[in-house]
Amino acid sequence: MRLLGIDTGGSSLKAAPVDIETGVLASRVVSFPTPAPATPVAIAGVVTQIAAAYPEVGGSIGFAFPSVVTAGVARTAANVDKAWIGTNGAQLVRDATGRAAAFLNDADAAGLAELRVGAGRGQDGTVIMLTFGTGIGSAIFHDGHLLPNTEFGHMEIRGMEAEHRASARVRTMDKLSWEEWSARVNEVLARMHALFWPDLFILGGGVTENWPLFGPLLDSPARIVPAELGNTAGIVGAALAASEL
């Protein structure tokens, strides 16, 4: 069975049909620029275009979005218009496409994909995924069950939010060496371990393309592995969420 997954970012909306049994993309990824301003009405128009690009793919749609999502409603707005706050994203997709929709946080979608068909498949116990990019995204699971909307990137470390010290963006802006940046990431991992005692950390984000340069420098009592699905994790996770409607 194939379902459509959509991943919303600050610069683009990416989508593809996903074989939900294997988590493999069933077709090419299409990408549309995120409209400016990225209002609900504007993004609904892009979602309509995306659905039309795959007329052969029916069923429900998964929609991953950079927001805290509770009961289908966006509660925050990161990199999109503030008009999203209070918007029912699932209803918006239904209105735009005439199809049922799963609406979830983008980091949760990526974590769901990694847990089901990526680096965390088969792992019981507590798994934490952290994505290092402009900020630090997070998702936490216990025995396969997601606790949605964690915002561990805002955790305080040395008087600052963790993502203001250890995001990939900070590494680039502050011109940190891999050793310097890894030391900061290790502080994040240590704090997370002290609070949650995970069995596995999965680290994602574009920075993991350089895993051989910093992966060996990371340290934790928990096992640490790089994410496997790369930039497609949000798409795959959104489609998997849609399959559970």
Alpha-carbon distance of 224 to 226, in angstroms, equals: 7
The answer to whether residues 129 and 99 belong to one domain is no
Residue among 104, 13, 10 nearest 53 (CA):
13
In a domain, 180, yes or no: yes
Can you say how many angstroms the Cα of residue 189 is from the centroid of all Cα atoms in its chain? 18
Alpha-carbon distance of 122 to 3, in angstroms, equals: 23
Strands 12-19 and 30-33: antiparallel
> How does pLDDT run along the chain (245 residues), one tens digit per residue?
999 999 998 889 999 999 999 999 999 999 999 999 999 999 999 999 999 999 999 999 999 999 999 999 999 987 789 999 999 999 999 999 999 999 999 999 999 999 999 999 999 999 999 999 989 999 999 999 999 999 999 999 999 999 999 999 999 999 999 999 999 999 999 999 999 999 999 999 989 999 999 999 999 999 999 999 998 999 999 999 999 98
The answer to whether residues 145 and 212 belong to one domain is yes
Residue among 110, 90, 112, 92 nearest 101 (CA):
90
The answer to whether residues 16 and 67 belong to one domain is yes
In a domain, 117, yes or no: no
In a domain, 115, yes or no: no
pTM equals 0.93
The answer to whether residues 185 and 239 belong to one domain is no
The answer to whether residues 88 and 21 belong to one domain is yes
Alpha-carbon distance of 153 to 170, in angstroms, equals: 13
Alpha-carbon distance of 161 to 137, in angstroms, equals: 12
In a domain, 81, yes or no: yes
Alpha helices, DSSP H only, in the chain?
A: 40-53, 89-97, 106-117, 163-166, 168-173, 178-196, 211-214, 233-243
The answer to whether residues 103 and 129 belong to one domain is no
In a domain, 210, yes or no: yes
Q: What is the CATH number of the domain that holds 64?
A: 3.30.420.40
The answer to whether residues 68 and 145 belong to one domain is no
The answer to whether residues 89 and 57 belong to one domain is yes
β-bridge mates for residue 104, sequence order: 64
Give the sign of the dihedral formed by CA 169, CA 146, CA 240, CA 77: negative
Residue 29's alpha-carbon distances to 16, 40, 83, 211, in angstroms, are: 5, 22, 28, 25
Supply the pLDDT for residue 134: 87
Q: How many domains does the chain have?
A: 2
Residue 3's alpha-carbon distances to 7, 58, 97, 105, 243, in angstroms, are: 13, 7, 14, 18, 7
The answer to whether residues 42 and 134 belong to one domain is no
Instruction: List pLDDT tens digits, range 14-70.
Output: 999 999 999 999 999 999 999 999 999 999 999 999 999 999 999 999 999 999 999
Show the domain range for 50.
2-109+232-243
The answer to whether residues 77 and 143 belong to one domain is no
Amino acid at 42: A
Alpha-carbon distance of 232 to 22, in angstroms, equals: 14
